[in-house]
Chain A
Amino acid sequence: MIDARSVLLLWFPDQAGITGGRTREPAIFPLRLKGRKGLEVHILMIEDDASIADMYRLQLEHDGYKVTVATTGEIAFSTLSGSAPDLVLLDLLLPDRSGFEVLDALNERFPNHPPVVILSNYGEPSMIDRGRSLGAIEYLVKSRVTPADISEQIPMWVEQGRRGGRKES
């Protein structure tokens, strides 16, 4: 039996988004992590594909996160005006505009927006560079990571967003 991870690592280990030697963090970790309002960590997922959104929601809610799904950029903006999530997971192919445009608008309209992690089906170096230049703290190709991989990195991203100078206004 071939280990699934090893086969994936065979090609493009650098972009696989998972590191071979990392041990799985226990799921109770997020429970210790508090969101910016001292409550549970709130994640805004901007994703139009319901099957993917549902899948991630299942894992993230199981791990103790609060998840809001926005299916378009517009809905995401109204969500952000209402509440302040601790992390944004951003898809690049959205019905009303591209994820890059959402991120660009986010930078403009919400200068103190929470850290953004791009989750996309495209892993072209040029797109990764663009995402990073727009301020995304991470760019992951969906098919290379499992929901658990994402979930276990969330505390780090949230922490990173806080340290990154985005203080509460």
Chain B
Amino acid sequence: MILAAAVALDLTAAAFVALGVAIGYHWYRDRGRTQGMLALALVALAVVAALGRIPNPPVLLSAVIVVLFMASGFFVLLFRHEFIPLGRTAYRGAFVLLAVGIGLGVLDVTVFAHANPVVVTLLGLGLISIWAVFTGEPIVRFWLASNRLPAVQRARMRFLSFGFAILITILVVDVLGGSAVQSPTAVIITQLIALVAVPAIYLSLAPPPLLRRIWRMSEENALRAAMQDLLIFTTSREALAERATFWAVRLVGATAGFIADPNGKIIANTAIDRAHAARLISGRDRSASGSTTGIIMAPLHLTEGVGTLAIIGGPFTPVFGTEEISQLRAYANSVSAGLERARVAERMAAIESNKSQFLNLASHELRGPVTVIRGYLSMLEAGLLGELNDRGRMAAGVMAAKVSEMNELIEEMIESARLEEGGVTLRAVEADLREIARSAAYIVTPMLESKHQLVMDLPERRVRVKVDPDRTKTIVANLLSNAIKYSPDGGVITCQVRSRAGMAKVAVSDQGIGIRRESIATLFTRFGRIITPETEHLKGTGLGLFLGRQLARLQDGDITVASVEGEGSTFTLQLPLAGAGPEAASNGGAETSAEGAPEHTVSASSS
């Protein structure tokens, strides 16, 4: 039994030596000052454990053991000091305590070596108390701090606290227990318990990847969701960078972080002010990324160069390991991809918006000159600027028509830009679709040539729709004018109004040149006019059908097309029928013009 106890003691000592060697090696591989303090503490503890196994040590060796023991505790405190700096007084107090402890210990093994057991126990108790203060305070502090940390850090800190708590308990029990814990069985039990502390402390310092992954599992889902956010959702680049920084900080359990553009501009920062972040960026070579004391910088490979994702450890951050660095680097690649995508999306949006803005600005700027040309032409035609001869009058007429075409283009450009910006407001009223079709036909009548025949196919009953009458009239007039334009050889143009199954429709058919099947897709796009040898001489902006369909869709309707090349086309405007309401609008036509043009309402009321 005594032999077994001796083996247990040897085993524990060997385990602590192994721990010391492992930690020492670990520290040697990636030296960090913070980790160094803990490594020193554990190496000192290993030496104490090894030397303690020497039977009947000389006094000098005993003194060395005592000094190393006190030092091991003190290094744990310094390890904590690296994380959370101690106050000035506490720091000084620690040194005083260390001196007192060493003094007591040396006295214990020299002068009082053979004194009264009570005195020896008291001295030993003092010694252990001081050691317990050195290690116990960090244990409590780390345990409390671990609550706010990500899973991996939380587990690491708790393992460290747990390991040291075991050591303190055993030492205190050993000293206080006296002869009660000197029995071989008690020794074996305490030594076995002490053995548990070894893997606990080792795991806290250098947890294998598998264990880290297990610890992290609870957070994996949230992280995966965050990654998805980064890659799927289109937010602004800044918002994306903010979120990425937040998650990077969480990922490695840091306290602060930031993302910098290749030019050093800070685009996102969490718990660190921009000026500080900028100093950090400018202060170091950005191409070298890796871990220095408490900072990991991972490169972000962006089109315009290499940006930086930086993570800064704080008071409660444990030492960053290679695991954190590689993880952060992998994360940084996702962040790069997300930022690139956001940039592309933003550029696209900017181009779209610029296009609309340009369209808007250009068209308004064009209105000025058109006003003057149109105005003088009208005066010229009216004879205000002197009498014109026949050729002059003809020229003025042609010019007036051309200016009108220009004006039409400008109006279409403005309406298109307005649609793009969502600035179109429709004035929906109940109206009779037959009236709308009639007034649309009235508008295009001047375009008809003798070879054309316009047939209005209207039902007997009113076709009630709730639409913006003027814009709907515009849509139908545009369909009719297209039918005329694209029937160069004349023929019958039919405008048929029908209502069926909750939908009203206006179908405009012609016997014109028709549309090729493959061209139909581009018909309704902006500037999507189809140019063929038959149509290239025709004037048009390519906006009419685009606007028509957009306006129809804004009113819950649509425009569809059926066409056979060489035989003609049928464009159908569909609109929802107005729900059964009071027959208030008995004369839809009159209401149409009054509601649609408030300017004229004013005129009407005054005249």
Are A and B physically bound partners? yes
Contact assessment for B368 and A62 in the assembled complex, using a CB-CB cutoff below 8 Å:
no
For B89, list chain A residues within 8 Å (CB).
none
For B597, list chain A residues within 8 Å (CB).
13-15
Within 8 A of B (CB), among A1-54: 1-15, 17, 19-20, 49, 51-52
For A159, list chain B residues within 8 Å (CB).
606
Of the listed stretches B107-115, B245-253, B340-348, B407-415, chain A binds B407-415
CB distance from A48 to the nearest CB of B (A): 11
Contact assessment for A148 and B379 in the assembled complex, using a CB-CB cutoff below 8 Å:
yes
Partner of A160, one of B425, B444, B606: B606
Q: Does B474 contact A (CB under 8 A)?
A: yes
For A140, list chain B residues within 8 Å (CB).
599
Q: Does B237 contact A (CB under 8 A)?
A: no
Contact assessment for B423 and A9 in the assembled complex, using a CB-CB cutoff below 8 Å:
no
Q: Does B374 contact A (CB under 8 A)?
A: yes
For A51, list chain B residues within 8 Å (CB).
372
Contact assessment for B378 and A138 in the assembled complex, using a CB-CB cutoff below 8 Å:
no
Contact assessment for A6 and B378 in the assembled complex, using a CB-CB cutoff below 8 Å:
no
Partner of B443, one of A9, A58, A123, A126: A9
Contact assessment for A146 and B404 in the assembled complex, using a CB-CB cutoff below 8 Å:
no
Contact string against A for B residues 491-526, beta-carbon threshold 8 Å, 1 for contact and 0 otherwise: 000000000000000000000000000000000000
Partner of A12, one of B385, B415, B602, B603: B415
CB distance from B453 to the nearest CB of A (A): 19
Q: Does A142 contact B (CB under 8 A)?
A: yes
Of the listed stretches B139-147, B309-317, B395-403, chain A binds B395-403
CB distance from B107 to the nearest CB of A (A): 91
Given known A2-B447, A11-B411, A58-B384, contact A52–B378 (CB-CB < 8 A): no
Interface size on A, residues (CB 8 A): 49
Give complex CA distance A10, B423 in Å: 21
Give complex CA distance A122, B403 in Å: 18
Main secondary structure of the interface of A (DSSP, over half): helix
Partner of A52, one of B371, B443, B596, B600: B371
Partner of B367, one of A62, A121, A138: A121
Contact string against A for B residues 353-393, beta-carbon threshold 8 Å, 1 for contact and 0 otherwise: 00000000000110110111011101100101100000000
CB distance from B29 to the nearest CB of A (A): 68
Contact assessment for B407 and A148 in the assembled complex, using a CB-CB cutoff below 8 Å:
no
Contact assessment for B602 and A2 in the assembled complex, using a CB-CB cutoff below 8 Å:
no
Q: Does A144 contact B (CB under 8 A)?
A: yes
Given known A138-B599, A146-B375, A147-B379, contact A11–B412 (CB-CB < 8 A): yes
Give complex CA distance A164, B486 in Å: 50
Main secondary structure of the interface of B (DSSP, over half): helix
Contact assessment for B375 and A56 in the assembled complex, using a CB-CB cutoff below 8 Å:
yes
CB distance from A54 to the nearest CB of B (A): 9
Q: Does B574 contact A (CB under 8 A)?
A: no
For A142, list chain B residues within 8 Å (CB).
367-368, 371
Chain B: CB-nearest residue to A51: B372
Q: Does A139 contact B (CB under 8 A)?
A: yes
For B371, list chain A residues within 8 Å (CB).
52, 121, 142-143
Q: Does A124 contact B (CB under 8 A)?
A: yes
Contact assessment for B375 and A10 in the assembled complex, using a CB-CB cutoff below 8 Å:
no
Q: Does B549 contact A (CB under 8 A)?
A: no
Partner of B408, one of A8, A56, A124, A147: A8
For A153, list chain B residues within 8 Å (CB).
603
Contact assessment for A13 and B474 in the assembled complex, using a CB-CB cutoff below 8 Å:
yes
* Pair count A-B, CB < 8 A: 124
Q: Does A84 contact B (CB under 8 A)?
A: no
Contact string against B for A residues 65-106, beta-carbon threshold 8 Å, 1 for contact and 0 otherwise: 000000000000000000000000000000000000000000
Contact assessment for B602 and A55 in the assembled complex, using a CB-CB cutoff below 8 Å:
no
For A137, list chain B residues within 8 Å (CB).
602
Contact assessment for B368 and A121 in the assembled complex, using a CB-CB cutoff below 8 Å:
yes
Give complex CA distance A52, B443 in Å: 29
CB distance from B559 to the nearest CB of A (A): 16
Give complex CA distance A144, B473 in Å: 18
Contact assessment for A2 and B404 in the assembled complex, using a CB-CB cutoff below 8 Å:
yes
Q: Does B470 contact A (CB under 8 A)?
A: yes
Given known A2-B401, A124-B418, A156-B606, contact A7–B408 (CB-CB < 8 A): yes
Contact assessment for B382 and A148 in the assembled complex, using a CB-CB cutoff below 8 Å:
yes
Give complex CA distance A156, B603 in Å: 8
Q: Does A134 contact B (CB under 8 A)?
A: no
Give complex CA distance A58, B384 in Å: 9
Given known A4-B401, A125-B425, A143-B410, contact A59–B375 (CB-CB < 8 A): yes
For B403, list chain A residues within 8 Å (CB).
4
For A2, list chain B residues within 8 Å (CB).
401, 404, 446-447
Give complex CA distance A29, B269 in Å: 73
Give complex CA distance A4, B602 in Å: 26
Contact assessment for B378 and A49 in the assembled complex, using a CB-CB cutoff below 8 Å:
no
* B418, B425, B443 — most chain A CB neighbours (10 Å): B443
Contact assessment for B600 and A124 in the assembled complex, using a CB-CB cutoff below 8 Å:
no
Q: Does B405 contact A (CB under 8 A)?
A: yes
Given known A12-B474, A13-B473, A125-B425, contact A55–B372 (CB-CB < 8 A): yes
* Chain A to chain B: the 9 pairs with minimum beta-carbon distance, closest first: A14-B470, A146-B378, A143-B367, A4-B404, A142-B371, A121-B367, A14-B597, A7-B404, A3-B446
**23 residue pairs A–B, Cβ–Cβ below 8 Å:** A6-B443, A6-B444, A7-B401, A10-B408, A10-B474, A11-B415, A11-B474, A13-B443, A13-B470, A13-B473, A14-B596, A14-B597, A55-B379, A59-B375, A121-B368, A121-B371, A124-B418, A137-B602, A143-B410, A147-B379, A156-B606, A160-B606, A163-B606
Q: A55-B376, A146-B379 are in contact. List 18 more A-B contacts (CB 8 A).
A: A2-B446, A6-B444, A7-B404, A8-B408, A11-B478, A13-B473, A14-B596, A15-B597, A20-B443, A52-B371, A55-B372, A121-B368, A125-B423, A137-B602, A142-B367, A143-B407, A147-B378, A148-B378
